[in-house]
Amino acid sequence: MKKYIYLAFIGLIGLFASCEKEGSKVEMFDNPIAPTIKTLPDLTLLRANATDTLKIVGTPLNPGFVASATYYLEACPSGDGFENKVIVYSGVQDTAIIMTVSDINGALLKKFTADAVSSADFRIRAVMLVDAGTGAWGTSTDPMVYTSEDSTVDITTYGLPRLDLLNSGITQKIESALGDGKYKGFVKLNTANLFTLKNPDTNIEYGGSAGTLVVSGSAITPDGNGWYRLSADITALTYNMEAYMIGLVGSATPNGWGSPDSKMDYDAQSGTWSITTDLVAGEIKFRKNDGWSWNLGGTADKLEHNGANIPVTAGNYTITLTITNETAGSEAGTCTIVKN
């Protein structure tokens, strides 16, 4: 038996290249053909090759018509069943996912030990939406999800050079993905805790002010309290602090749709943001720095810029957010919302 999908809204026409006009009908396979991984490159990753690009070749989802889908390249320890997965890539690429060695290494370090050989399972997961807001199958609240068969390969990730933050109040660091003297990372700062940066490989300690690093200089004063993206260049002797505070906002949160948001904490190992908090019945979204220029809504499997509000019932929740694209205007991610 064939399934038929009717497109009722002009805004959906772009999803299906085979549709020519509003209200047209497309034919869908009873069993859509899932995406596949055809080839994986050698994943013995080396810092010396950090800027090289690698290609993962696959085939797209085929539901019986030309459709738009979001593809996720996921990895987990072999045999884990993707219970503890990491998203290596997300986007619209399907037949060829091209990434730099440093980007792949950075993603895999969230789940795999550095400088060691590990066995990993990879898969491609495709998420397809027909429209949004109706609650029917194939919509934002009940998306069509199809996954490839697992591909198992050995991987080797490399550890990253780092600068340790001394006296910042907690143990934290920033890292150099390319090993080129340029470091960055998310750090939690407090204006009461002036800090210095120490290179454990050279034992050199850096202080400074106003964006300039000084060897053995005075401790750096944070710009404010909360999470920041801190970058430092030990060759140019410069640094920068950029506020990066991800929070929950919405009618279900203590401050409703106003500020300040309920701030989340960052976990460097998993690369995720999380919060455990009480919510009332209502709706939530994620946003950055209490502003709307960067915000995420939609569904747990597909969060996007200006996406739909997420409904929740009253209770205590642990919410974890994975940001897969942080560029403002095209930000994207996934989340888990667990009632405790």
Whether residue 37 is predicted with pLDDT greater than 60 in this model: the reply is: yes
Last residue of a domain, one of 209, 228, 243: 243
Whether residue 11 is predicted with pLDDT greater than 70 in this model: the reply is: no
Q: Which token pair is 303?
A: 């969060």
Total domains in the fold of the chain: 3
- pLDDT tens for each residue of 151-210: 999 999 999 999 999 999 999 999 999 999 999 999 999 999 999 999 999 999 999 999
Whether 217 and 316 map to the same domain: the answer is no
Query: What range defines the domain where residue 106 resides?
Result: 3-156
Which pLDDT score is estimated for 59? 94
Whether 106 and 148 map to the same domain: the answer is yes
Whether 8 and 81 map to the same domain: the answer is yes
Give percent above pLDDT 70 in the chain. Answer: 88
Whether 193 and 262 map to the same domain: the answer is no
Predicted TM-score of the model (pTM): 0.77
Q: Contact 75/88 with Cβ under 8 angstroms?
A: yes
Whether 237 and 255 map to the same domain: the answer is no
More reliable by pLDDT, 21 or 298: 298
- pLDDT tens for each residue of 69-80: 889 999 999 999
- pLDDT tens for each residue of 201-248: 999 999 999 999 999 999 999 999 999 999 999 999 999 999 999 999
Last residue of a domain, one of 226, 243, 260: 243
Whether 295 and 206 map to the same domain: the answer is no
Last residue of a domain, one of 173, 208, 243: 243
Whether 271 and 333 map to the same domain: the answer is yes
What is the CATH classification number for the domain harbouring 43?
2.60.40.10
* Mean residue pLDDT across the chain: 89
Smallest CA-to-CA distance from 262 within 241, 284, 281 is with: 284
In sequence order, the β-bridge partners of residue 233 are: 182, 238
Inter-CA distances, 13 with 24, 207, 256, 307, Å: 9, 56, 35, 19
- Mean pLDDT over 249-256 rounds to 98
Which pLDDT score is estimated for 20? 46
Assign 112 to helix, strand or coil. Answer: coil
Q: Which token pair is 304?
A: 């996007």
174, amino acid identity: I
